[in-house]
Structure 1
Amino acid sequence: MFNFTLYKQGVKGSWKMLLIFAAVLTLYVSMIISMFDPEKMALLDEYVKIMPEFMAAVGMTAGATTLLGFMSSYLYGFILIVFPMVFAILYGNKLIAKYVDRGSITYLLAAPVKRRAVAFTQITVLVTGIFVLVLYVTLIELAVSKASFSEELYIWKLLLLNLGLLCLHLFIGGICFFCSCLFSDAKYSVGFGAGIPALAYIIQMLSNTGEQVENAKYATFFTLFSPEGIIAGETGAIAGMIVLFIGAIVLFSAAIAVFSKKDLHI
């Protein structure tokens, strides 16, 4: 059910995109962590008070007193959600729908490789990319934090937080890949694969802006990822991680089933 040649080709085709996203995330993560200073937190909190709705929309809140709390507020509400999500959208579409749209899927299936093996292998390519990106972010966070604030970071809490981040992006990757398998036309694959996560995030942003639309958060899967709750070890936040992971497995399994029975007109 796994084709190493196809996997190798897929990984080889993703490294340039991974490098670009890694470079951007290195810049943002390093810059934001270096901004942490307990004595100057009041100044940063003033920006939150000046633009409360905007800052709340992207998950940034005032009052962080620890490095991990600061990272949770200024990294995990926007930057570490949006950039890996864009990677999953761009690369998830290339793995199946792009081949079908161009007709080159014929050459893939002409070889003695079953459809289930093709779909499963492409899933491992996407999962590898997402895992590598989250792992890289974790290493950068640890390196920068250790260099500047050796006694401030709770490493195990950070690892648990990034495990939750990985579960979230695997779920998003599952949505993108399912759409890639469901639609033969790349424009529909991208439209739904990008549209569903983007709409969910917009709803989440709106729900953060005030009590009038707060309940809208229950209409989006992003509410299952709670950085503050994970750091605090809350049962609900841990359960949210598990639900996202199970959801990712369900989506990937459904994608394999859909692709296996898909009429490709070949």
Structure 2
Amino acid sequence: MMNFTLFKHELFASLKLFIIILAVLMLYIVSVIYMYNPEMTDTLKKLTETMPEMMAAFGMTSIGDTLIEFLSTYLYGFLFMILPMVFSIMLANKLIMGYIDNGSMAYLIATPNTRFKIVLTQALFLIISLFTLLAVTTLVMIVFAEVLFPNELDITALLLLNFGLFLLHFAISGFCFLMSCSTKDLRTSYAYSAGIPIAFYLIEALSNMGGSLDKLQYITIYSLFDSVQLIQQNSSCWWMLGTLFFIGLLCYSLAIRFFVKRDLHL
């Protein structure tokens, strides 16, 4: 079902982007875990009191009493939302529309591979790359937390939290891949695949500030990722995760169908 030669080619072609995103994530992860100490938490509390609305916009309203709550506040409100999203946007557009835009798709289709096999390979590569990025990130979090603060990290809660994070970005990457497979050119694909997720994130940030904007959160996909409920393993988090999985699966399925049926004008 997959073209392993194409998969291998994409692996080497995307390695630089993967390493850059992972390196930035690791830098911030280590920095945030290191800040989990009495002196730094007092400083962060004062910062939150000084700019309450700004901190709330990025989900940094409560420092929390445990390491997992601390990490949830300072990593999952902004960094873990934005960087994997940037990774998905760039990679999704490169895997399909990038080839169409530079004319290379004609060579791929000329090989003894069906359109379905080509687009399925690219879709699986995007999903596996995203999963690997978040899996390595999770491992780094566990290792550094255990080194700096032994036995303080709730690993079960972290795994569930990052599973939810993967499903969120699985849905976002599916939408980006759908735009890459269905739009007319690279510029349009980037406009939709970047513009809509970023707009949703900004709406979510505005809703976090409270007041009359509070209800805005329910029109974005980010409302389906609730770190507090995931940490507490509330029953409502399961239908949210199921919805994210369904959205991602639907987007990837539609993307594959659009690519197989579309007139590429090569």
Q: Same fold (TM over 0.5)?
A: yes
TM-score bin (small chain): over 0.9
Q: In structure 1, how many angstroms separate the alpha carbons of the residues matched to 2:230 and 2:184?
A: 39
What are the residue-to-residue correspondences of 1:91-106 with 2, within 5 Å?
91-106=91-106
Q: CA deviation at 1:211?
A: 2.2
Q: Which runs of 4+ in 1 moved over 3 A?
A: none
8 Å contact from structure 1 (residues 100, 184) kept in 2: no
Q: Secondary structure of the equivalent of 1:112? A: coil
Q: Which amino acid aligns with 1:100?
A: I
Aligned to 1:90: 90
8 Å contact from structure 2 (residues 180, 186) kept in 1: yes
8 Å contact from structure 1 (residues 38, 65) kept in 2: no
Q: In structure 2, how many angstroms separate the alpha carbons of the residues matched to 1:11 and 1:199?
A: 30
Q: CA deviation at 1:238?
A: 2.4
Q: Can you give the 5+ residue segments of structure 2 that lack an aligned partner in the other structure?
A: none
Tell me the TM-score normalised to structure 2 length: 0.97
Query: Number of paired residues?
Result: 266
Q: CA deviation at 1:240?
A: 1.1
Q: In structure 2, how many angstroms separate the alpha carbons of the residues matched to 1:51 and 1:238?
A: 33
Q: Which amino acid aligns with 1:78?
A: F
Q: CA deviation at 1:46?
A: 1.6
Aligned to 1:219: 219
Q: In structure 2, how many angstroms separate the alpha carbons of the residues matched to 1:241 and 1:252?
A: 17
How has the CA–CA distance of structure 1 residues 146 and 116 changed in structure 2, closer, same or farther, with 3 Å as cutoff? same
Aligned to 2:13: 13
Q: Verify: 1:128 aligned to 2:142, yes or no.
A: no
8 Å contact from structure 1 (residues 54, 209) kept in 2: yes
Q: CA deviation at 1:62?
A: 2.2
Q: CA deviation at 1:125?
A: 1.1
8 Å contact from structure 1 (residues 57, 205) kept in 2: yes
Q: Which amino acid aligns with 2:96?
A: I
Aligned to 1:198: 198
Q: In structure 2, how many angstroms separate the alpha carbons of the residues matched to 1:118 and 1:63?
A: 46
8 Å contact from structure 1 (residues 97, 186) kept in 2: yes
Deviates more, 1:37-46 or 1:245-254: 37-46
Q: In structure 2, how many angstroms separate the alpha carbons of the residues matched to 1:245 and 1:221?
A: 12
What are the residue-to-residue correspondences of 1:55-70 with 2, within 5 Å?
55-70=55-70
Q: Secondary structure of the equivalent of 1:259? A: helix
Q: Secondary structure of the equivalent of 1:198? A: helix
Q: CA deviation at 1:8?
A: 0.9
Q: Secondary structure of the equivalent of 1:184? A: coil
Aligned to 2:251: 251
8 Å contact from structure 2 (residues 63, 73) kept in 1: no
Q: In structure 2, how many angstroms separate the alpha carbons of the residues matched to 1:262 and 1:224?
A: 32
Q: In structure 2, how many angstroms separate the alpha carbons of the residues matched to 1:39 and 1:69?
A: 17
Tell me the TM-score normalised to structure 1 length: 0.97
Q: Secondary structure of the equivalent of 2:76? A: coil
Q: CA deviation at 1:230?
A: 0.1
How has the CA–CA distance of structure 1 residues 200 and 51 changed in structure 2, closer, same or farther, with 3 Å as cutoff? same
Output the aligned Cα RMSD: 1.1
1:222-264 per-residue CA deviation (whole Å, 9 max, x = no partner) reads: 0000111100111222221121112111100000000010001
1:67-117 per-residue CA deviation (whole Å, 9 max, x = no partner) reads: 000000000000111011101111110000111112211100001111111
Q: CA deviation at 1:166?
A: 0.5
Q: Can you give the 5+ residue segments of structure 1 that lack an aligned partner in the other structure?
A: none
Percentage identity across aligned positions? 41
Q: Which amino acid aligns with 2:77?
A: G
Q: Secondary structure of the equivalent of 2:14? A: helix
Aligned to 1:108: 108
Q: Which amino acid aligns with 2:197?
A: P
Q: CA deviation at 1:39?
A: 6.3
